[in-house]
Chain A
Amino acid sequence: MSIIKIERKVLEKNDELASQNRGDLKNKNIFCVNILSSPGSGKTSIIERTIEHLKDDVKIAVIEGDVQTDIDAKRVEKYKVPVIQIVTNGGCHLDAKLVRDAMANLNFSDINFLVIENVGNLVCPAGYDLGEDCKVVILSTTEGDDKPLKYPKMFMNSEVLIINKTDLLPYVNSNIETLKTNALKINPNLTIFETSCSTGDGIDKWCNWLIDNVNK
C-alpha cells in the first residue's frame, strides 16, 4: 500500500472559474451581488423593487437561477433590463460555470451592476463562490427568527442580510431584534437592512448602499 499526497480542494474547479468571473467583472467595473434565500423569501421582489429604484442611476443586468421555469426572468424582463435565465433542472445551487456561461451572453459594455438570483435554498448555494463581490442573504419575517442559528453557513458566508416582509411582523411570531441578534451571533460583520416589498419600506436604504458600492 502506498499513499499519494494530493492536497486539492474539492471545489477547486468552481473556485478557479469564480475567480475568472470576478476578474472579468472587475475589469469592466461591474459590481456583482449573489442573492440567496429560502424559496419564497422575496428575492425576485427585492430585485424588482431595486430596479424600480435604481434604473435611472445604475445600469443593471440580472441572471436568474431556478430549478425549473423562466417565471422569474419574465417578471424581471418587464423592467426592460437585460436578463438571462439559468434553469438547473433539479440542481440545488448555481455554480461558477453556469454563471460564466450566462455571462457570455451579456453585453458588459452596457452594465455596471450585475445581480445574480440564486436557486431558493438556504443550504447548498452558500458553499459555491460565483465570482460575486458580495453575498446577500434574504430572510423573511415569516420564516422565524431562529433561522440564522439553524442555517449558520449561509449567514457566516454572507456580507449583507436583508430582513424582508417587515410589514408582516404584527401577524407572525418572529421578533426582529431576536432575528438580528441571532444573525450577528453567527456573523458579527453582517450589514443588515429591513425591507418590505409590499410597502416599499427600507428599499431606499438598501439601494443607497448599492449605489455607494457600484460607484466605488
Chain B
Amino acid sequence: MHELSVAQNIVEILNENIAHYECSSVKTVLLEIGEYSGIIPDSLKFCFDSIKSDTPFGNAELKIKNIPFRMQCNACKSETGNNFGMRICEKCGGHDTEIISGTEMKITDVEIDTL
C-alpha cells in the first residue's frame, strides 16, 4: 500500500536530478528493489504509471531489477539466503549472520532519448 508514496519519492528524485534534461525524453528509470525491501515491484509500477501523467515524466517506464536476499554467516563464512528471510545459516546452522543484500530500494540509472 505504501508503493504510492514510494512512487512519489521517485518522481521527486527525478525532478531533482534530471530537470536540466528534456524531461519528456526520459524513457526508463532503472531501480534496484530488494526481496525484503517491503515493495511489490508490480504494485510500484502500477502506482508510478498512475501518477506519471501529472509529472514531466509521462513517457517514463520503471524497470525493476529484483535483488535477492543474501546473508553471510560470521562463523563458517558461507553465503546463503534461500529460506524466506530466516537468519539461520543454511550450511552450518549458525545464528550469527550479516545481511549482504535484499533490502535495497534505489534508483540506479535513468535512460534518456537523445535524438
Contacts from A to B (Cβ < 8 Å): 1-14, 91-93, 95, 123-124, 126-127, 149, 152-153, 156, 184-188
* Residue in chain B with minimal CB distance to A14: B9
Given A8-B17, A124-B38, A152-B84, 15 other A-B residues pairs in contact with their CB atoms under 8 A? A3-B109, A4-B18, A5-B109, A6-B13, A7-B107, A7-B108, A8-B107, A9-B105, A9-B106, A92-B2, A93-B2, A127-B2, A127-B105, A153-B36, A153-B85
* Shortest beta-carbon distance from B42 to chain A in Å: 16
Which one of B1, B31, B37 lies within 8 Å of A92 (CB-CB)? B1
Which one of A10, A184, A188 lies within 8 Å of B105 (CB-CB)? A10
Q: 20 A-B residue contacts at CB 8 Å?
A: A2-B114, A3-B109, A3-B110, A3-B111, A5-B109, A7-B107, A7-B108, A8-B106, A8-B107, A9-B105, A9-B106, A10-B6, A10-B9, A11-B6, A14-B9, A124-B2, A149-B84, A152-B85, A153-B85, A184-B95
Which one of A1, A95, A153, A184 lies within 8 Å of B112 (CB-CB)? A1
Of listed A13, A126, A156, residue having the most chain B CB within 10 A: A156
Which one of A8, A123, A126, A186 lies within 8 Å of B86 (CB-CB)? A186
Which one of B27, B85, B87, B97 lies within 8 Å of A1 (CB-CB)? B27
Docked CA distance A9–B29 (Å): 13
Docked CA distance A5–B37 (Å): 22
- Residues from chain A with a CB closer than 8 A to the CB of B95 are 184, 188
CB of A5 within 8 A of CB of B85, answer: no
Could you tell me how many residues of chain B have their Cβ less than 8 Å away from some Cβ of chain A? 36
Contacts from B to A (Cβ < 8 Å): 1-2, 5-6, 9-10, 12-13, 17-18, 21, 27, 31, 36-39, 84-88, 95-97, 99, 105-114
CB of A91 within 8 A of CB of B36, answer: no
A6 with B110: in contact, given A124-B2, A126-B38 (CB under 8 Å)? Answer: yes
CB of A123 within 8 A of CB of B113, answer: no
Docked CA distance A185–B88 (Å): 6
* Residue in chain A with minimal CB distance to B44: A10
CB of B38 within 8 A of CB of A13, answer: no
Docked CA distance A123–B13 (Å): 24
- Residues from chain B with a CB closer than 8 A to the CB of A188 are 87-88, 95-97
* Shortest beta-carbon distance from A185 to chain B in Å: 4
CB of A123 within 8 A of CB of B108, answer: no
Docked CA distance A13–B66 (Å): 22
Docked CA distance A1–B18 (Å): 15
Which one of B6, B106, B112 lies within 8 Å of A7 (CB-CB)? B106
* Shortest beta-carbon distance from B73 to chain A in Å: 12
- Residues from chain B with a CB closer than 8 A to the CB of A153 are 36-38, 85
* Residue in chain B with minimal CB distance to A92: B1
Docked CA distance A156–B111 (Å): 34
CB of A156 within 8 A of CB of B36, answer: yes
- Residues from chain B with a CB closer than 8 A to the CB of A6 are 13, 17, 107-110
* Shortest beta-carbon distance from A103 to chain B in Å: 20
